[in-house]
C-alpha cells in the first residue's frame, strides 16, 4: 500500500474503534453526583480526542489473539491460554477465578481516563487556556474543580482497570503497571516544569523527560493487554518497548506540530511551546547550532504573538536544520518501535499497529 492509503487505513482503524471506546467510556464513567464534579471529569473526554492509546490497546489484543479485526467482543476477549492460540503455558500463574474472558476494553478506557486526568492537571500547571479546541477544564470550571476532576479520574482509572475480569495475578500486574506509570508521568511533568527554569538542559535529559511524561502511557497501552491476556514475558516486554519508542516519537512530532500547524487545526495557539520557553528537541538542537532560542520570540504570552513572528522563528529553526533533526529522530524511533512488533503473529492488526507508528509522525495534527 502507498503511504496515503496506509494513513487512510489507520484513520479507518481508529475511526471504527472510536465509537466503541466512547460508548465504553460512557459506561465506565457515567454521570453521577455531585454533578458539577462529574461534568468536569467527563468534560475533556467528551470534547473529543483521537483515542489513540485505547486503539493501540485493542489492536494489540487482536494481534496477540490472531483474530480478524473487530470480529471479537472487546469486553469478552478470549485469554491466550484459553483459546489455545498462544500456548505460553502461563495458566498456572493465574488466580483461581475463571480467566477465560477478559474485558480488554476496560483496560483501554482506564488508560484513556489516566490520559485525561494528566491533561487536566497539566493545563492547570502550564496555565494553558485551550485543549482540544475547547477551554481547559480550569477555565471552563475553576481550578478547584479541575484539581478534583483530575483526582476523580485518577481513582476511577484504577476502578475501571479492576473490572477486566482477568486472572488475579494478571490483573495485579496490570494494576502495578498503571500505578508505576502514573508515578513516572508525575516525575516527567516535574522535570518538564523544572526544565523551563533551567538553561542547561541537554537532549538526553529532555528525552528522559519525554519517556516519563508521555511514552510510558503508550507503553502501558500496548503492554497491558499482553499482561491481561496472558502473553509471555518476552512478548509483554517487546510490546512495552513498542509503546515507549512510538510514544517518544509521538511527543517529538507534537513539538514539531506546535510550530508548523495552524492554530485552528491544532486546537491551541501555534508556537505556544516557544513562547512559554519549553525545551524541545527542536530548540535544544537549535541552541547547539548557536541559535539564541530564548530571543526567537518577544511575546510573553501565546496571545500576544503574531503569525508573522512565529513564521520568522520557524524559519530560523528550519535554517538551523532543527526541525529536520527532530523529524529524523522521530522516524528513527518509529522504525525501532515497529521492529518490536515482530513478536506478534503476522496479521492485519499487527500491520495496523505498524501503520499507527508511521501515522504518529506523519499526522497533520
Query: What is the C-alpha to C-alpha distance for residues 183 and 194, in angstroms, rounded to an integer?
Result: 17
Query: Residue 266 phi/psi, 5° resolution?
Result: -75, -25
Cα–Cα separations (whole angstroms), residue 85 to 61, 62, 186, 253, 350: 12, 12, 38, 37, 16
Question: What's the min distance (Å) between Cβ of 127 and its own copies?
Answer: 9
Of 156, 151, 121, 148, nearest to 136 (Cα)?
Answer: 121
Q: Is 71 exposed, middle or buried (0-12, 13-18, 19+ CB in 10 A)?
A: exposed
Cβ distance to its own copies smaller for residue 176 or 303: 176
Q: What is the sign of the dihedral through the CA atoms of 15, 67, 59 and 152? A: positive
Residue 176 beta carbon to its own copies: minimum distance, rounded to whole angstroms: 5
Nearer to its own copies, 176 or 328 (CB): 176
Task: Tell me whether residue 11 or residue 124 sits nearer to its own copies (CB atom).
Answer: 124
**Which is nearer to its own copies, 5 or 183 (by Cβ)?**
183
Strand runs labelled E in the chain: 77-78, 101-102, 130-131, 134-135
Closest C-alpha to 344, from 115, 59, 69, 144: 59
| 182 versus 238: smaller Cβ distance to its own copies | 182
Q: In angstroms, rounded to a whole number, what is the distance separating the alpha carbons of residues 270 and 264?
A: 9
Give the residue with the Cβ less far from its own copies, 186 or 316. 186
Given the rule CB under 8 A, which residues bind its own copies?
32-34, 36-37, 92-97, 121, 124-125, 143-145, 147-148, 150-152, 154-156, 158-159, 162, 168-169, 171-172, 175-176, 178-183, 186-187, 189-191, 193-194
- Supply the minimum distance, in Å, between the C-beta of residue 18 and its own copies: 26
**N-terminal to C-terminal alpha carbon distance within the chain:** 22
CB of 257 to its own copies, least distance (A): 24
What minimum distance in Å lies between the beta carbon of 226 and its own copies? 19
* Closer of 183 and 306 to its own copies (Cβ): 183
The CB-of-52 to its own copies minimum distance in angstroms stands at 22
- Smallest distance, Å, CB 184 to its own copies? 9
Determine the Cα–Cα distance for residues 274 and 295; give it in Å rounded to an integer: 10
Helix axes 322-340, 307-319, angle to 10 degrees: 70
Amino acid at each position: 500500500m502507498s503511504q496515503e492509503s496506509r494513513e487512510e487505513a489507520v484513520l479507518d482503524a481508529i475511526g471504527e474503534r472510536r465509537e466503541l471506546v466512547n460508548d465504553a467510556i460512557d459506561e465506565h464513567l457515567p454521570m453521577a453526583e455531585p454533578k458539577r464534579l462529574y461534568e468536569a471529569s467527563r468534560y475533556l473526554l467528551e470534547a473529543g480526542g483521537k483515542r489513540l492509546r485505547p486503539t493501540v490497546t485493542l489492536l494489540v489484543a487482536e494481534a496477540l489473539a490472531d483474530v480478524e479485526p473487530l470480529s471479537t467482543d472487546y469486553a469478552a476477549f478470549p485469554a491466550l491460554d484459553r483459546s489455545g492460540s498462544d500456548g505460553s503455558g502461563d495458566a498456572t500463574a493465574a488466580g483461581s477465578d475463571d480467566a477465560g474472558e477478559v474485558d480488554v476494553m476496560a483496560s483501554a478506557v482506564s488508560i484513556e481516563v489516566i490520559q485525561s486526568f494528566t491533561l487536566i492537571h497539566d493545563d492547570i500547571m502550564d496555565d494553558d487556556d485551550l485543549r482540544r479546541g475547547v477551554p481547559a477544564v480550569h477555565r471552563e470550571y475553576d481550578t478547584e474543580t479541575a484539581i478534583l476532576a483530575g483526582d476523580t479520574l485518577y481513582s476511577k482509572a484504577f476502578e475501571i482497570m479492576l473490572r477486566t475480569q482477568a486472572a488475579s495475578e494478571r490483573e495485579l500486574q496490570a494494576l502495578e503497571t498503571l500505578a508505576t506509570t502514573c508515578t513516572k508521568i508525575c516525575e516527567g511533568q516535574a522535570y518538564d516544569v523544572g526544565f523551563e527554569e533551567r538553561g542547561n538542559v541537554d537532549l538526553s535529559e529532555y528525552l528522559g523527560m519525554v519517556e516519563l511524561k508521555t511514552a510510558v502511557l503508550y507503553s502501558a497501552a500496548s503492554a497491558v493487554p499482553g499482561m491481561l491476556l496472558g502473553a509471555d514475558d518476552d512478548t509483554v516486554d517487546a510490546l512495552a518497548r513498542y509503546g515507549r519508542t512510538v510514544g517518544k516519537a509521538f511527543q517529538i512530532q507534537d513539538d514539531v506540530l506546535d510550530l508548523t500547524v495552524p492554530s485552528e487545526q491544532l486546537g491551541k495557539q501555534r508556537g505556544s511551546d516557544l513562547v512559554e520557553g519549553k525545551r524541545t528537541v527542536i530548540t535544544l538542537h537549535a541552541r547547539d547550532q548557536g541559535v539564541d532560542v530564548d530571543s526567537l520570540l518577544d511575546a510573553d504570552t501565546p496571545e500576544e504573538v503574531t503569525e508573522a513572528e512565529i513564521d520568522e522563528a520557524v524559519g530560523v529553526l528550519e535554517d538551523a536544520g532543527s526541525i529536520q533533526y527532530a523529524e529524523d529522530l522521530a522516524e528513527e524511533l518509529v522504525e525501532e518501535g515497529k521492529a518490536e512488533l515482530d513478536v506478534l503473529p503476522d496479521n492485519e492488526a499487527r500491520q495496523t499497529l505498524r501503520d499507527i507508528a508511521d501515522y504518529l509522525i506523519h499526522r497533520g495534527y
